[in-house]
Amino acid sequence: MRRVLTILASLGLLGTVVIVLGASKAGESKAVLEQRLNEMRKARVQSAKAALAAAQAAFDAQSVTVDVFVEVTRNLVDAELDLATTPEQEIASWERYVKVMKQSEDANKKLLEIGVKGGEPLRYYTVKQERERAEIALLKARIKAAP
């Protein structure tokens, strides 16, 4: 499943590059290029949200691992951060990501504690580490935004 998602994402990115480069005209103004860039950023966020919805459904159906869910969620955060224009938007994105990672960490911790499949130490600590990474980034964003 991860390979399929990676291939689809690569094809989508390739198509986007072809469209952007193919539509590019010599001498376009900076404003036009910035508008196109902003449109692409918005499209990327929408694609990432759709991928997350699909990953959530697959995760709920237990047809993908938590690793895929974490990766897709991280991709959404990256897209949102690229689109963000204010510190508040960055903070909101990191807050959502911390919340998702905390939920994933708690679920994996329960599985680890009862010793069932899906509760392997590697999975738990991978999710824990990602939650910690997200919390560090959130704190950095808050420090950056502080007066």
- pLDDT at residue 115 is higher than 70: yes
Residue 61's pLDDT is 87
Average pLDDT of the chain, as a whole number:
85
Give the model confidence (pLDDT) of 59-112 as tens digits.
888 888 777 888 999 999 999 999 999 999 999 999 999 998 998 899 889 888
Residue 21 has pLDDT above 70, yes or no: no
Burial grade of 57 (CB within 10 A; 0-12, 13-18, 19 or more): exposed
- Report domain extents, the chain: 2-20+28-145
Would you say the pTM of this structure is higher than 0.85?
no
> Rounded to whole angstroms, how far apart are CA atoms 99 and 138?
11
Per-residue model confidence (pLDDT) at position 11: 52
d(CA 33, CA 11): 23
**pLDDT exceeds cutoff 70 at 125:** yes
* Phi then psi dihedrals of residue 24, to 5 deg: -65, 135
Contact 94, 134 (CB under 8 A): yes
DSSP state of 118: T
Q: Given a cut of 80, is residue 26 above it in pLDDT?
A: no
